[in-house]
Structure formats: structure tokens, C-alpha cells
Amino acid sequence: MSLDYKLTFGPPKTKRGQRQVPLDAATITGLRAHRKRQAEERLAIGAGWTDTGLVFTRADGYPVHPDSFAQAFERHLKASGQPKARFHDLRRFRPIEDAGWRSDGIRESRRAGPPGRIRP
């Protein structure tokens, strides 16, 4: 969470906030490749690495600020001619896309986070 551009970490706000998210084989393969690259970066930096236990970090191990992800996402959308969208909304897109906008897609999207407005 970011408050006044400072990152804070803590437990989820609700019981539903802590859950297992099923991953497809391609995502698992990508995460394993990322972990390998991250281990190589960690070795290269040595004592300069900060172990935060996070999956996605800067090259020195520190957290990537959430606004950096959102800004990069906006740049990529603009460069590719795609309509504006919020990075945060992506957590709902894949489960719904997989289910073809059927009611089970909405149910699946809720596993990705608290329910909210879902638009096709």
C-alpha cells in the first residue's frame, strides 16, 4: 500500500484478502524464469541486495513502487494505441476472459479480489 508515496506492508484488510490464486502453466513458467533472473541479479549485487521477500523488485531488491507499474502500463497502452484502462483492473480481466463473460467468469474474477463493477 502506498500512503504519501511511502510503501507500507501489512496483513490483508479482510479474510477474503488472503487466498490462493490458481496459475496456468505459462504463468508458472514465467515466474520460474523471473526467479532465476532475480537470483542472478542478487548474486551480481552481493551485499547491496535487500531481501524483501517480494517477487517483483528493483534490481537491488527494494520494492517497485505501485505507481511505477501503473505509469509503465499507461505508457504501453498509449504506445500500442489501446484505450485507457487502469492497471488495477487487470486482476479481473483474465478470469473473465477465460470464461467468456459467463456467470462463472464473474465468480472467478471475484477470486482475484473483492467484488466490484465488472463491465464487458
DSSP line for 23-47:
--HHHHHHHHHHHHHHHHHHHHHGG
For residues 44 and 73, state if they share a domain.
no
Same domain, 37 and 72: no
In a domain, 2, yes or no: no
60 lies in the same domain as 73: no
Neighbours of 95 (CB within 10 A): 20
- Strand 6-7 vs strand 2-3: parallel, antiparallel, or unpaired? antiparallel
pLDDT at res. 87: 78
Answer yes or no: is 92 within a domain. Answer: yes
11 Cβ contact partners less than 8 Å away, ≥ 6 residues apart: 17, 18
pLDDT (0 to 100) of residue 21: 78
Mind listing the pLDDT tens digit of every residue in the chain (120 residues)? Answer: 666 778 888 888 888 778 887 888 998 999 999 999 999 989 999 999 999 888 888 888 988 888 888 888 889 888 988 888 887 777 666 554 554 444 444 455 455 554 443 333
71 and 94: one domain?
yes
Residue 7 within a domain: no
Q: Domain count of the chain?
A: 2
Domain hosting 81: range is: 65-115
* 1 falls within a domain: no
